[in-house]
Amino acid sequence: MLIIVQNLHVPFDRRVWLECQSLVGAGYDVTVICPRGKTSKKYEVIDGVAIHTYPPYAPGGRAAGFVVEYAWSFLATARLALQARRRRGRFDVVQACNPPDVFWPLARWLRLRDGTRFVFDHHDLCPELYESRFPDGARLPLRGLLALERATFRTADRVTSTNESYASIAVERGGKPPEHVTVVRTGPDPERLRRGEADPARRRGREHLVAYLGVMGPQDGVDLALAAADRIVHGLGRTDIAFTLMGAGDSYDDLVAQRDELGLHEYVELPGRVPDEYVAAVLSTADVGLCPDPKNPLNDVSTMNKTMEYMAFGLPVVAFDLRETRVSAQEAAVYVEPNRVDAYADAILDLVDQPERRAEMGRRGRERVEQELAWSHQCGGYVAVFDELTHRTRAPVEADEPIRSDAWHDVEAGTGA
């Protein structure tokens, strides 16, 4: 098996790492190609997964920067795929994870040469991502992204989608037969993600703690969370609440500047990307988890990893009213009219001031993770896709005997993935 990832390195990409460990546990030989992280090596084997990395190049900026980044990633990935093929032999299946939707030519070449089958692991909607990041952008790039998405769907033998909305797009826009599309949610591991002892020091001398964990890009709404904190602290005079917003991304520096301009330095901590222990300590202490993703073409139909991670820690969630967020959180969240900062701030305060309600919502969220959303309920369907393509048969995996990862790596919770 060859798995291609472009936007995060492995094992930092939690979904892909769970997939890798599930395949290894099922007896498959797994190779990954991904960008190099700060502590990554050019080549290493971690828990049975062979990982080839290349130096990332992300000039950023506007749409042209993404074109350069994706072209570099494709060329680097193609070179490493040929190298891995020489080292390990032909691949039976190649899986490409998006964004971007540019790896279908490599999948076609491997199919023509070796008969390799292609699985498209559908993490994001690239056309909607473009519309959300560049709402006034040119239409030509959007048409190009739709064409790349269409080519990826047409090349794929099977599609694994992160939710029902994405699966519908694979069928309706991608033209895939419904039986070739499998929903595989990015479920958390409830054994490793669970509430521990609270650490009062995380509240920094205040009575309550509100937390955010995830990517900090233009479409993630952390600026709205800061605006809500400003209303809570300066508008409503509530100085008993500390905010810890964990994560990194394209907007991180701008968010730090926004926090300081709003005079929130004493109340809002922005530690950047943090290790597992830090995340666990904060989420075990927090009263509320924030999902400030604004309503836009991407967010409305995307599943946010952070939503389910808050639920795994027994945290109630405050979110804008988005379609797939409701599917994930159900009764574990309070839903606010999209993009209204005042209503979002008021919802945070309502929960902070109602400990019994918080506890009940947290209980329901944790229960939903354990009974429906956990990776143990997802991995069987994921491995079955590869079994079908490779004509393998096996006894079904019982829900209480999951194929699990041995590691939970700090999360940059990403878009829909």
Establish whether domains 2-186+378-390 and 200-371 are of one fold. yes
Q: Are 54 and 36 in contact (CB under 8 A)?
A: yes
Dihedral sign of CA atoms 17, 19, 23, 29 in order? negative
Going from the C-alpha of 102 to that of each of 67, 207, 394, 413, 415, the distances in angstroms are 10, 49, 33, 22, 18
CA distance 330 to 227: 25
Alpha helices per DSSP H over 314-371: 323-329, 341-352, 355-368
Element (H, E) at 22: helix 14-25
CA distance 22 to 261: 46
Q: Per residue in 86-123, is it b (16+ CB within 10 Å) or e — as a string?
A: eeeeebbbbbbbbbbbbbbebbeebeeeeebbbbbbbb
Q: Are 74 and 82 in contact (CB under 8 A)?
A: no
Determine the pLDDT at residue 87: 87
The dotted CATH code for 2-186+378-390 is: 3.40.50.2000
Instruction: Note down pLDDT in tens along the chain; length 417 residues.
Output: 999 999 889 998 889 999 999 999 999 999 999 999 888 999 999 999 999 999 998 776 566 777 888 999 999 999 999 999 998 899 999 999 999 999 999 999 999 999 999 999 999 999 998 888 888 778 888 999 999 999 999 999 999 999 999 999 999 999 999 999 999 999 888 998 999 999 999 999 999 999 999 989 888 999 999 999 999 999 999 999 999 999 998 899 999 999 999 999 999 999 998 988 999 999 999 999 999 999 999 999 999 999 999 999 999 999 999 999 999 999 999 999 999 999 999 999 999 999 999 999 999 999 999 999 999 999 999 999 999 999 987 655 454 444 443 333 333 333 343
Phi-psi region of 309 (alpha: psi -120 to 50; beta: other; left: phi over 0): alpha
Tally Cβ neighbours within 10 Å of residue 57: 14
Q: 128: which residues sit within 8 A by CB, 6+ positions away?
A: 296, 297, 298, 301
Q: Tell how strand 49-54 and strand 43-46 pair up.
A: antiparallel
CATH 3.40.50.2000 fits 200-371, yes or no: yes
CA distance 214 to 251: 12
Going from the C-alpha of 334 to that of each of 132, 235, 349, 362, 367, the distances in angstroms are 24, 21, 11, 11, 17
Q: Are 264 and 194 in contact (CB under 8 A)?
A: no
How many CA atoms does the CB half-sphere of 114 hold within 13 Å? 18
Determine the pLDDT at residue 133: 81
Determine the pLDDT at residue 62: 66
CA distance 270 to 282: 12
Determine the pLDDT at residue 139: 87
Determine the pLDDT at residue 61: 59
Q: Per residue in 355-375, is it b (16+ CB within 10 Å) or e — as a string?
A: eeebeebbebbbebbbeebbb
Domain range summary for the chain, segments of one domain joined by +: 2-186+378-390, 200-371
Return the beta strands (E) in 176-332 as ranges: 181-183, 208-213, 241-246, 268-272, 288-291, 317-320
* Terminal-residue alpha carbon distance, the chain: 21
